[in-house]
Amino acid sequence: MISLGDSTDEQGHPIWAKVVDQSRCIGCHACTTACKSENLVPLSVTRTYVKSVEVGEFPQARRNFQVTRCNQCSDAPCTTACPTSAMYRRPDGIVDFDKSICIGCKACIAACPYDAIFINPEDHSAEKCNFCAHRLDVGLEPACVVVCPVEALLVGDLNDPSSRVAQIVNREAVQVRRPEKQTQPKLFYKGAHQATLDPLAARRPPGGLYASSTQPTGHAEIGSGHPGKATSSAAALLSYDVSHKAPWGWPVTLYTTTKSIAAGAYLVAVLLCVFGALDWTSSLALWGAPILALAFLGATGAILVLDLEHPERFYLILTRPQMRSWLARGAFVITGYALALILSLGAAAVHAGAIVRGIAFPGALLAVVTSVYTAYLFAQAKGRDFWQSPLLGPHLLVQALMAGAAALLPLAVWLQPSSVAWLAWLLAAASALHLLFVAAEGTLDHPTAHARLALHEMYSGVLGRFAWTGIALAFVTLAAPWIGLWAVLPALGALVAYDHAYVQAGQAVPLA
């Protein structure tokens, strides 16, 4: 039993924390099995698992263990990214989850710097370690703490100076994982080796470069002598299957492309009208661009909903939004943009040209925000350093112009042939800017090892075929003024291929 004592925060709650004494851990995996039994965790996923790392070189080698689980952050990125507050922080500091309102968007998984969250394969909701909150609430210790045979796991109240956890944290040398993320974890490691805390430590050769992460997750084969693999004195090994599947796959790539077309089609049409290349009363401006934008906006929404683990709950993003999440904010931006397009079409139907022009400018602004908000969404994924680029927002806007010009070309041939040349030149110019952004993102120095390894994966790993195909197709698109309609497919193909490499590269770096 745990004595809460008189230790409380300002609201009268304890602040729970856990200490993992790795100098005691024997790697018996009792914590994992106890957690599975207590919380009915199904096969293939775990709330807590033990990683072993071989450190040193024969004959002077030793095995170090690390108990890996949710870090119970005071500034938890998962709670910020969750659009419905299914991931939330309790008053006692425990980051808990409510499966009844989880939509399965996997934003919390992408946001977690510690790879501690997973989708339960049975109920399709996000799940992780929650310190066995149901046990703490009735004065019992978490199952893993109870079962540990060497007392390597301790839980206690940081506000209670008499608790062993508070004494260890306040008086002894302890470490946390990835302190640079400033999440303020409340999972403290005592006596841990850096090779266990840093998942890239087992990939770092003496020269400072990193091995490719194309080998199966779970076993970093170090010192194998194979080309592209690092030579190091540490190797990480998981003793059982732990799923580390990238949360966002092809649907996210398609979503970025359809959203670019939706935002760009209307934005390009408005720009052409403003600069006199297109008449406000033309069929392309009145009907073609808004209908095309609305159609692809609908496709974007459909892709987003179908990619949810609980698509039937998609309405919760709008009915109970957690507005710090850019997934929730983006839903309202898309809704506002859709309403602007519908109003524009309605005004065109009743020949209200002044209203069409009046809607155009706020509609264009909404189109810009629709194109760039994904950069803020990706930035909330704190564990994915590669996505923290300040160039991403402007790059997405350029991609929207590129996609919009390409998508409008076939319609212009049909509805407004005089605008084809303008669209072709705009497409070529946007493609050139896209390539400049690609060059900048690929050649500028990335400040962290995670970002550098992701860049390596994007261009030299298995994702290279997508990245280089996208770049080659973008070069073809530069010839749009001369090849006309033939530029449409390479333009859109360039965006799909490059975006897929970019999205997957950010998720290719191990976090645990």
Q: For the segment 286-319, what is each residue's pLDDT rounded down to a tens digit?
A: 999 999 999 999 999 999 999 999 999 999 999 9
pLDDT-derived band at 72, boundaries 50, 70, 90? very high
Task: Return the higher-pLDDT residue of 167 and 221.
Answer: 167
Distance between CA atoms of residues 328 and 14, nearest Å:
31
3 state DSSP class of 19: strand
Lowest mean pLDDT among 64-73, 142-151, 357-366: 64-73
Of 2.60.120.1440, 3.40.50.620, 3.30.70.20, 2.40.33.10, which CATH number belongs to 16-238?
A: 3.30.70.20
Angstrom distances, CA of residue 23 to CA of 65, 147, 150, 152, 260: 9, 17, 10, 8, 52
pLDDT above 50 (res 46): yes
pLDDT above 70 (res 92): yes
- Please give the share of the chain, as a percent, with pLDDT higher than 90: 79
pLDDT in tens, 1-33: 343 333 344 456 799 999 999 999 999 999 999
Answer whether 487's CB lies under 8 Å from 406's CB: yes
Q: Determine the average pLDDT of the residues in 479-504.
A: 96
Question: Judging by beta carbons within 10 Å of its beta carbon (0-12, 13-18, 19+), is residue 191 exposed, middle or buried?
Answer: middle
pLDDT above 50 (res 222): no
Task: Calculate Rg over the CA atoms of the chain.
Answer: 26
Q: What is the pLDDT of residue 235?
A: 54
Counting DSSP H helices and E strands in the chain, the numbers are 19, 10
Task: Return the higher-pLDDT residue of 215 and 491.
Answer: 491
Characterize the bridge pairing of strands 16-21 and 187-190.
parallel
Lowest mean pLDDT among 142-156, 168-182, 219-233: 219-233
Q: What is the pLDDT of residue 319?
A: 96
Characterize the bridge pairing of strands 118-119 and 126-127.
antiparallel
Q: Determine the average pLDDT of the residues in 439-447.
A: 91
CATH numeric code, 250-506: 1.20.1630.10
pLDDT-derived band at 195, boundaries 50, 70, 90? confident
Answer whether 31's CB lies under 8 Å from 45's CB: no
Q: What is the pLDDT of residue 367?
A: 98
Q: What is the pLDDT of residue 246?
A: 86
Helices 392-415 and 250-274: crossing angle in degrees, nearest 10, is 60
Distance between CA atoms of residues 15 and 185, nearest Å:
12
Lowest mean pLDDT among 218-232, 239-253, 326-340, 493-507: 218-232
Distance between CA atoms of residues 343 and 328, nearest Å:
23
For the entire predicted model, the pTM comes to 0.89
Q: What is the pLDDT of residue 260?
A: 97
Answer whether 401's CB lies under 8 Å from 272's CB: no
Distance between CA atoms of residues 295 and 114, nearest Å:
38
Instruction: Extract the tokens encoding 273.
Output: 């009208």
pLDDT in tens, 413-428: 999 999 999 999 999 9
Q: Which single residue is written with the structure tokens 């302890």?
A: 174
In 3-state terms the chain splits into helix, strand, coil percentages (rounded to 5) of 50, 10, 40
Q: What is the pLDDT of residue 236?
A: 58
Q: What is the pLDDT of residue 66?
A: 87
Answer whether 386's CB lies under 8 Å from 506's CB: yes
Nearest C-alpha neighbor of 281 from the set 192, 347, 337? 347
pLDDT above 70 (res 173): yes
Is the fold of 16-238 the same as that of 250-506? no
Q: Where are the domains of the chain?
A: 16-238, 250-506
pLDDT above 50 (res 207): no
pLDDT-derived band at 199, boundaries 50, 70, 90? confident
The Cα angle at residue 136 between residues 177 and 87, in degrees rounded to 5: 55
Would you mind telling me the total number of residues written for the chain in this entry? 512
Task: Return the higher-pLDDT residue of 63 and 105.
Answer: 105
CB within 8 Å of 100: residues ≥ 6 apart: none
Q: What is the pLDDT of residue 69?
A: 92
Q: What is the pLDDT of residue 57?
A: 81
Average pLDDT score over the chain: 89
